[in-house]
Each structure stands twice: as structure tokens, then as C-alpha cells.
Amino acid sequence: ANMKRLLLALTLMLSLPTMVLADNVLIFGDYEYGAKPFLETELVALGHTVTNVAALPVDVSGYDTIWHVGAFVPLTDDEQLRLADFLASGGGLHLTGERPCCEALNDSLQAFVNSVVVGGTVQVGDLGDINGPYAINPAAHGGLASTPNAVSAWMPQASGGMGGLGSLPSANILTTGAGDVPTGGAWIASELVSAAGRMTLLVDV
């Protein structure tokens, strides 16, 4: 139940500020082991139109939100440019990092995040495994912990960590693990170099 509540909260946050209730959603990435079909099923059940593909299409202009579900394959430079343009057009973007198995992916996410976030000092991965307990930051952007349902925790099997997000209760910290180490981040338009779009990142698929 908590996973479905977090999914709904992420969907609404990525749709802000217009609070669109039915988006045209793109899911892409290399992690096919249950995660992408589950996400597609849940988003369709919430009323969204969903396209689920392995690779990021050349043209993403027709989508309201993009969900990246990856584990091993890094974002290419070209994909990073297309995603940056998508954010600049006002789109909502969710990214997936991973534990130390997959630092090449994490490194590409770090490069991308720092190219679109004002200040560019975010670290993704290279912090080892971050153990639980895991929690949702009550002060995270977009009311992620409370709207439309209360969400107090997420349950990753093995999460990597993040740095450069400040300390709690920073609204950029979406989730934390043991010792309050960030395991997820959230950014709104005023924090992005394009002054448009919304973005979240969780360091586990």
C-alpha cells in the first residue's frame, strides 16, 4: 500500500503546477524485471495513457511526464540533452539510480542532474549501500509525504545514496536511509536552470 501511495504522490508532484490528473506518460529504461510492467499497470489504473519502451525516443514532445526505470545502462549524452529539453518545456521527470552495482548509471545521472539543477553540486551514488530504516521526508517538495495520501516510508531492497542536498528538513531530500543519508531527491521549477519542469530521483529501482 505504501508503494502505491508513493507512486500516486510522485505522479501528482511531477504534474504540478497544473495538477493534471491524466497524463500522457512515457516509461523507458533497461530494468524490465517486473518494475516497468508494474509501474505501467499502476499508472494506467490511475487513468494515464502509458507508452513503455526500452530506449528514450528521439521525440518526447508529446509526453507530460517521463519515468526512467533503469539499473545498468547509463544515460547517453544525447539522452541527457533530450531530457534537459523536456524539463525546459515544463515536463515532469522521474529518474532511477541504483546501489554500488551500477555506478556507471549513477555517474550519468549525477552528470545530468548537475547540468539541470541550479548550483550543480548533487552527488548520486558512490556512497556504498545505504541501509534502512528508510523514510519519506515530511517536508519534501510537492507535498510528497502527504498528498494525496500520507506516505511515511519506502521499502527498497538495496539503495544507493545521494549527497549535496543539504540536511533535513531540506525540501530537496525526498527519502532517507540510515543516519538520515539521502536516498532520493526532488526539485521544482525554480531550482532548475530552465526555470521550468519538475524532477524526482530515487536511488533504487
The torsion defined by the Cα of 36, 98, 64 and 138, in degrees rounded to 10, comes to 110
pLDDT of residue 33: 77
- The per-residue pLDDT for range 152-202, each reduced to its tens digit, is 888 888 899 999 999 999 999 999 999 999 999 999 999 999 999 999 999
Taking the alpha carbons of 33, 103, 200, 154 in that order, is the dihedral positive or negative? Answer: positive
Question: What CA–CA distance (Å, rounded) separates 138 from 144?
Answer: 8
Q: State mean pLDDT over 10-17.
A: 65
- The per-residue pLDDT for range 55-111, each reduced to its tens digit, is 999 999 999 999 999 989 999 999 999 999 999 999 999 999 999 999 999 999 999
Question: What CA–CA distance (Å, rounded) separates 153 from 176?
Answer: 9
pTM: 0.90
Q: Is the pLDDT of residue 129 over 80?
A: yes
Q: Which residues touch 41 (CB under 8 Å, ≥6 apart)?
A: none
Q: How many beta carbons lie within 10 A of that of residue 8, not counting itself?
A: 17
pLDDT of residue 35: 84
Taking the alpha carbons of 144, 150, 153, 157 in that order, is the dihedral positive or negative? Answer: negative
CB 94 within 8 A of CB 201: yes
Burial of 142 (0-12, 13-18, 19+ CB in 10 A): buried
Q: Is the pLDDT of residue 18 over 50?
A: no
Going by C-alpha positions, the residue among 139, 132, 124, 146 that lies closest to residue 176 is: 132
Q: Is the pLDDT of residue 5 over 70?
A: no
Q: How is residue 181 annotated by DSSP?
A: -
In the chain, the amino acid numbered 148 is P
